[in-house]
Amino acid sequence: MFPPGLFTLQFMQNAWIAGTAIAIIGGIVGFFVVLRGATFVAHAVPRASFAGAAGAAVVGQSSVLGLGTFAVLSALGIASISRERRHGVATALILAAALGLGDLFLTIGHVYAPAVFALLFGQIVGISTHDVRAVLIVSVITVVLFAAAFRPLLLQSVSPHVAEAHGFWTRGLEILFLLLVSGAAAAMVPVVGALLAFSLMVGPAAAGSILGKSPLQALAWSVAFGVLSLWLSVWLAYLTFWPIGFYVSGFCLLFYFAARLIKR
Amino acid sequence: MTWYQYIWAPGIWGNPAVHTAWTAGTLVALASGTVGVFVVMRGQSFTGHALGDVGSTGAAGAFLAGVGALWGFLAAGAVTGGSIEWLGRRVRERDIATGVVMAFMLGLSALFLYLVSIYTNASNAPMAILFGSLFTVSPSLQPALLGLSIAALAILALIYRPLLFSTATPEVAQSRGIPVRLVGLAFMLALVVAAEEAALAVGAILSTALLIGPAATAARMARRPGMAVLLAAGLAVGNIWLGILLAYDSYWWPPIHTGWPVSFFVTVVSLGMYAAGGLIQRVRTTVREGGR
Amino acid sequence: MKIEQTVQTTPQAALEITDLGVAYESTWVLDHIDLTVKQGEFIGIIGPNGAGKSTLLKTLAGLIRPSRGEIRFPAARGRRHPVGYVPQRFDLDPDLPLRARDLVGLGLDGHRWGFAWPNAQRGRKIEQALAQVDLTGFADHPAGKLSGGQLQRVLIAQALVSDPELLLLDEPLSSLDLASAQTVVDVVHRVSQNLGVTVLLVTHDMNPLLPVMDRLIYVVNGQAVIGTVDQVVQKDVLDKLYGYDVEVLRLHGRILVVGDETASGDAAGFEHR
Ligand SMILES: Nc1ncnc2c1ncn2[C@@H]1O[C@H](COP(=O)(O)OP(=O)(O)O)[C@@H](O)[C@H]1O
Ligand SMILES: [Mg+2]
């Protein structure tokens, strides 16, 4: 059940700390992702940030820096070419372009394949103490931003017209939301990988929004499901050495189905 | 070495890999561009992208099971498309269902690719499956691609009017006795075929670019639906041709003799086309309103 | 097998509803509705928010299956579509590659397989339908860029082009300015007169309809009564329907139902979604 080293090995301690941090911010940012129906953006931003990590590898910079830069750039790109009621098109095109760029970096930079695999699918053994620090810093910034913007964002997500009438700057809030997603993305990708980071922003929050009767309840459920699925995943990934992203996405699906069944 | 070979590299017509890429790319673009118009009109970009993306799960699964990649792609697409239709009846629900289902499929993909890299010697298989290059398409795939493109176009042609009706005014369509959900399911089938065909031949990245870019540009520029469909098909074909041409040329660009990936060029052209379409549209409106 | 009555008093009934009940999950939204509408009548469906007006219309349009009771369209025998349905206002994407002509065309043959090949007769029918709603010259206008009132009229043309016996309109006047609302009322009234179409029009404010409607169906809490304005909009009738005291005020030719806390029948009305 609990093999030696699960809590004592340095990299496992790193995995527990970083994992818990990203599960929490996944849960809180995911709350807005689900409320706004912005699942595609939550998928696209971490995925696009992968190109930044590849680029950072080419020029020999830290991958978290590359991730963060591309996460923010893709978020701003989506905001700039989005049209009302057609976010999907903008998201798809920015995502495809970022991935094309990532492919270019990988091709001309000759990046080592296992490193790419880790960036895409996550690897808990790979988390260094340096990474933990970066993840924690980004997480704290994201949480502070979230707390500061909670009420206007909630109002705007639920009833955009009322928010506008109150004089909130709609586009500004939209960009703020996208920045929250990029913060979460930059923190998550090193741990669970670019392909699966979004499952932590979608599954737990979707389950939470089904079960919660008020916004705060939904938020609490969302964080609880996120942390629970991450802890179970870290444990199982250590037991089996299978990619952690597989477990995370599996538990997210499980919680979502469970919530839908309970509600029915 | 003359200047123009940076733009029109020598030997592009004689190269068999380019020839195959050309045919495969054209077949894929025709289906993607056409289906894409309805994807954009119905706001199903995320679903379209997800279907291309989960192809990697099917590919890796097929590799492990030792069956043809085509079956893996189609199976992954069918499972994903079916789950999305089943779980997401309402629009907002649909995107969440798409996200959760897609995440799980990608998680499976992670597992399969990990197993591939452990139990086989194909250390590069994950990269090939994830990014795939048009220049490595096997010529033996061409008949299958032709068949799939024809299938997608045939479904679309058959349900064209009911689909347009259910897309524009779903409640009115339903009151006329059109089985709106069934029409949606038939369209999903065409979308699965087009997206998986594209993911197989040109990779998941290009699948999304070809499905959304030309169609969104055409939907924005054309006034009538039939024109939008034709324009999208044309733009998609032009998009892939230009991508192939530039990728072939890039062999002579720095770092010399490496060649830049086709996916880079196709995605950039796709995004650029959409932006240019927006610009043209804005100029047209300004001119029209200025004339009044 | 039911044998339809062939001999009827004229004008024939366009719609007969007997003991209709509609339930969402376990709550009854409409219960024990009995009413008959004559051919060519202009009927307003009035009532506060959440009363069940849209549910009634959707059930008639075949979008919701009744949980109990029967709906019949005796006068529509032989017609392909007994009803033409105009849904509650929705927004079309301004970039949609769809013209007013295409929307109306879908009403004509949108249920058929394959493409619509252009032909002169089809084009004439579409333009005729647009002319009936005062939109001559708008055939090639992008549907997503029409104003609210224009889109409403295009949807009416889309319904008319299938030659229905009944025209069902759900809140066509909400979120329109007074002038556009008046245009829509005039167009519907003229169509019902010229083509003999029976009209059922839902609105939360009955005043714009007072000059044109023959009778009204007043819906509260899933119960409905039908009759002329003078028969139905009476204190004793409405008290019974609402289940508590309301006041009916007549001021300068306008009617106000006071005491109805969900939607006082005043002209400002409520944003209804
Ligand atoms: N799809 C639905 N599922 C459950 N309840 C519904 C649904 N649609 C409407 N209702 C409920 O049925 C009642 C009548 O709604 P509706 O017919 O839309 O009223 P109206 O159009 O008169 O405002 C309301 O209480 C509403 O909440
Ligand atoms: Mg209503």
Average the pLDDT over B209-230 and give the result. Answer: 95
Q: Nearest residue CA, atom 2 of ligand 1?
A: C24
A182 phi, psi to nearest 5 deg: -70, -35
CB-based contact, B180 to chain C, within 8 Å:
no
Which of the residues C90, C93, C96, C271 would you substitute to probe the A interface, choosing the one with the greatest number of A C-beta atoms within 10 Å?
C93
Domain that holds residue A112: 10-263
For B279, counting Cβ atoms within 10 Å of its Cβ (0-12 exposed, 13-18 middle, 19+ buried), the class is exposed
* Residue B229 φ/ψ, nearest 5 degrees: -65, -45
Instruction: Using DSSP bridges, classify how beta strands C42-46 and C198-203 pair: parallel, antiparallel or unpaired.
Output: parallel
CB contact under 8 A, B168 and C106: yes
Q: Are strands C42-46 and C27-38 parallel, antiparallel or unpaired?
A: unpaired
Question: CA B38, B104, B78, B120 torsion: positive or negative?
Answer: positive
Residues in chain C, pLDDT under 70: 1-11, 78-80, 260-273
Please check whether residue C53 lies inside any domain of the structure. no
Is B104 within the bounds of a domain? Answer: yes
Which ligand is located closest to the Cα atom of residue C56? 1
| A83 reaches C (C-beta below 8 A) | yes
- What letters, b where the CB count within 10 A reaches 16 and e where it falls short, cover B17-35? ebebbbbbbbbbbbbbbbb
Q: In angstroms, what is the span from residue A4 Cα to ligand 1's centroid?
A: 59
Long-range contact set of residues A132-136: C-beta below 8 Å, sequence gap at least 24: A132/A14, A132/A17, A132/A18, A134/A62, A134/A64, A134/A187, A134/A190, A135/A18, A135/A21, A135/A22, A135/A64, A135/A187, A135/A190, A135/A191, A136/A17, A136/A18, A136/A21
Residue B224's pLDDT is 93
- Assigned domain for B292 exists: no
Distance CA C242, CA C250 (A): 19
Residues A97-112: tens digit of each pLDDT: 999 999 899 888 877 7
Distance between CA atoms of residues C86 and B175, nearest Å? 10
Which residues of chain A neighbour C93 with C-beta distances below 8 Å? 85-86
**DSSP secondary structure letters along C1-39:** -PPPP---PSSPEEEEEEEEEEEETTEEEEEEEEEEEET
* Ligand having the closest approach to the CA of C87: 2
Side-chain half-sphere CA neighbours of C214 within 13 A = 13
**C54 pocket-lining for ligand 1 (C-beta < 6 Å):** yes
Q: pLDDT grade, residue A74 (50/70/90)? A: very high
Q: How confident is the model at residue B3 (pLDDT cuts 50, 70, 90)?
A: low
Give contacts of B224 with chain C, Cβ < 8 Å. 97-99, 102
pLDDT at site B117: 80
- Show the 3-state SS of C146-165: CCHHHHHHHHHHHHHCCCCC
Cβ of residue C232 closer than 8 Å to a chain B Cβ: no
Give the distance from CA A152 to its chain's centroid. 22
Q: What are the DSSP E strand ranges found in chain C? A: 13-24, 27-38, 42-46, 68-72, 83-86, 166-169, 198-203, 215-220, 223-227, 247-251, 254-258
- Judged by CB atoms closer than 8 Å, whether chains meet at B49 and A95 is answered as yes
How far apart are the CA of A163 and the centre of ligand 2, in A?
24
Q: Is A242's Cβ below 8 Å from some Cβ in B? A: yes
CA C49 to ligand 2 center in whole angstroms: 7
pLDDT tens column, B165-199: 999 999 999 999 999 999 999 999 999 999 999 99
In whole angstroms, give the CA distance from residue A168 to residue A176: 12
The pairing of strands C68-72 and C13-24 is antiparallel
Ligand nearest to the CA of C88: 2
Tokens matching residue B5: 């070979």
Q: Which chains touch A (3 or more CB pairs under 8 A)?
A: B, C
Query: Which class for A264: exposed (0-12), middle (13-18), buried (19 or more C-beta within 10 A)?
Result: exposed
Let me know: does B50 contact B196? Beta carbons within 8 Å. no
Q: Residue A231: give its domain's CATH number.
A: 1.10.3470.10
More confident residue, C82 or A225: A225
Residue C51 Cβ inside 6 Å of ligand 1? The answer reads yes
C-alpha distances out from residue C250 to A157, C187, C255, C256, Å: 42, 26, 5, 6
Look at residue C56 and give its three-state secondary structure. Answer: helix
CA distances from C11 to A63, A118, B98, C74, C216 (A): 80, 78, 54, 11, 18
Atom 18 of ligand 1, residue of closest alpha carbon: C54
Residues of C near A (Cβ–Cβ under 8 Å) read: 91, 93, 95
Q: Tell me what the mean pLDDT of segment A210-228 comes to.
A: 95
| Ligand 1 atom with the shortest distance to the CA of C170 | 21
Report yes or no on A4 lying in a domain: no
Distance from CA of C90 to the nearest CA of A (A): 13
- How many angstroms separate the CA of residue C258 from the nearest CA in chain A? 27
Q: What is the pLDDT of residue B5?
A: 61
Q: Does B265 touch chain A (CB under 8 A)?
A: yes
For residue A163, pLDDT over 90 is answered with no
Q: Is residue A200 part of a domain?
A: yes
C66 CB within 6 A, ligand 1 = no
Residue of B nearest to C64 (CA): B175
Does a structural domain hold residue B49?
Answer: yes
- Give the residue on A whose Cα is nearest the Cα of B207: A96
For C258, residues 6+ apart whose C-beta sits below 8 A from its C-beta are C246, C247, C248, C249, C264
Give CA angle at C220 (C216, C221), nearest 5°.
150
Q: Is the pLDDT of residue A168 over 80?
A: no
CB of A158 within 8 Å of any CB in chain C? Answer: no
Q: Strand C223-227 and strand C215-220: pairing?
A: antiparallel
Mean pLDDT of A103-123: 79
In a domain, C183, yes or no: no
Please give the tally of structural domains in chain A.
Answer: 1
Residue B105: which CATH number? Answer: 1.10.3470.10
Of all residues in chain B, the one with the smallest CA distance to C94 is: B220
Whose CA is closest to C108, among B172, A75, A148, A5? B172
B222 touches chain A (CB under 8 A): no
- For chain C, the straight-line distance linking the first and the last C-alpha, in angstroms and rounded, comes to 41
pTM given for the model: 0.92
Q: Count H helices, E strands: chain B?
A: 12, 0
Buried b (16+ CB within 10 A) or exposed e, A220-245: bbbbbbbbebbeebbbbbbeeebbbb
Contacts of A95 in chain B (CB under 8 A): 49, 208
In-domain check, residue B1:
no
Q: What is the pLDDT of residues B220-276, one digit of tens each?
A: 999 999 999 999 999 999 999 999 999 888 877 777 777 888 889 999 999 999 999
Q: Strands C83-86 and C166-169, how do they pair?
A: parallel
Residue C78 has a CB neighbour count (10 Å cut-off) of: 6
Closest CA to C22 of C57, C72, C73: C57
Question: Is the CB of residue C47 below 6 angstroms from any atom belonging to ligand 1?
Answer: yes
Domain that holds residue B220: 15-284
Asked if C97 lies within 8 A of B160 by C-beta distance, the reply is: no
Please identify, by atom number, the ligand 1 atom nearest to the C-alpha of residue C171. Answer: 21
Please name which of C169, C187, C158, C162 lies closest in space to residue C89, comparing C-alpha atoms.
C169
Average pLDDT estimate for A142-150: 93
Q: Is the CB of C55 under 6 A from ligand 1?
A: yes
Q: How far is CA B104 from CA A173, A196, B80, B99, in A?
A: 30, 9, 10, 9
Number of the ligand 1 atom closest to the C-alpha atom of C55: 17
- In this structure, which residue's CA is closest to atom 25 in ligand 1? C50
Task: Report the chain A residue with the minimal C-alpha distance to residue C92.
Answer: A85
User: What residues pair up with C154 in beta bridges, in sequence order?
Assistant: none
Nearest listed ligand to the Cα of residue C29 = 1
Asked whether residue B155 is assigned to any structural domain, the reply reads yes
For ligand 1, say whether the CB of C50 is within 6 Å of any of its atoms. yes
Interface contact A100-B49, CB threshold 8 A: no
Q: Whose CA is nearest to atom 26 of ligand 1?
A: C50
pLDDT in tens, B91-105: 678 889 999 999 999
Query: Which has the minimum average pLDDT: A111-115, A178-182, A224-228, B51-55?
Result: A111-115
Nearest CB to B107 within list A42, A97, A248 = A248
How far is it, in rounded angstroms, from Cα C245 to Cα C235?
A: 8
The pair of structure tokens assigned to A158 is 């639920």
Residue for token digits 């992670």? B110
Distance CA C193, CA C204 (A): 23
Domain extent at residue C150 = 91-164
**Is residue C202 a part of any domain in this protein?**
no
Answer yes or no: is pLDDT of A65 > 90: no
pLDDT band, very low/low/confident/very high, at B2 (cuts 50, 70, 90): low
What is the spatial distance between Cα A122 and Cα B13, in angstroms, rounded to a whole number? 42
**Is a pLDDT exceeding 90 seen at residue B162?**
yes
Chains in contact with chain C (at least 3 beta-carbon pairs closer than 8 A): A, B
Binding site membership of C222 for ligand 1 (Cβ less than 6 Å): no
Three-state secondary-structure class, residue A242: coil
| Chain C CB within 8 Å of residue A86 CB | yes
* Pocket lining: C63 vs ligand 1, CB cutoff 6 Å: no
With CA atoms as reference, report the closest residue to A103 among C206, B128, B283.
B128
Q: Quickly count helices (H) and strands (E) in chain C.
A: 7, 11
ipTM of the complex in this document: 0.92
- CA-nearest residue, atom 14 of ligand 1: C52
Residue B72 has pLDDT above 60, yes or no: yes
Cβ separation B174–C106 shorter than 8 A: no
Number of domains in chain C: 1
- Phi, psi for C254 (deg, rounded to 5): -105, 155
Q: Report DSSP state, residue C99.
A: B
Are residues B176 and C162, on separate chains, in Cβ contact within 8 Å? yes
Are B137 and B15 a contacting pair, CB within 8 Å?
Answer: no
* Window C:120-179, CB contacts with B under 8 Å: 140, 142-143, 155, 158-159, 162
Own/partner pairs for C264-270, CB < 8 Å, 24+ apart? Answer: C265/C46, C265/C204, C265/C205, C265/C206, C265/C207, C266/C205, C267/C205, C267/C207, C269/C174, C269/C204, C269/C205, C270/C49, C270/C204
What crossing angle do the helices spanning B180-221 and A87-109 adopt, rounded to 10°?
70
Cβ–ligand 1 distance for C217 under 6 Å, the answer no
Nearest CA in chain A to B278: A81
B90 touches chain C (CB under 8 A): no
**How far, in Å, CA of A41 to CA of B38, rounded?**
21
- Residues A86, C93: C-beta atoms closer than 8 Å: yes
Counting ligands in written order, the one closest to the CA of C45 is 1
pLDDT at C10: 60
How far is Cα A192 from Cα C52, in angstroms, rounded to an integer? 49
Q: Give yes or no for B175 touching C (CB within 8 A).
A: yes
In a domain, B115, yes or no: yes
Q: Give the pLDDT confidence score for residue A171 in this predicted structure.
A: 83
In angstroms, the CA B73 to CA A234 distance is 30
Least confident stretch, A157-171, B62-76, C229-243: A157-171
Q: pLDDT (tens digit, 9 = 90+) per residue, C141-172?
A: 999 999 999 999 999 999 999 989 999 999 99
For chain B, state the CA radius of gyration: 20
Q: What is the distance between the alpha carbons of residues C156 and C163, in angstroms, rounded to a whole number? A: 11
Q: What is the pLDDT of residue C263?
A: 46
Tell me the DSSP string of A166-178.
TT--HHHHHHHHH
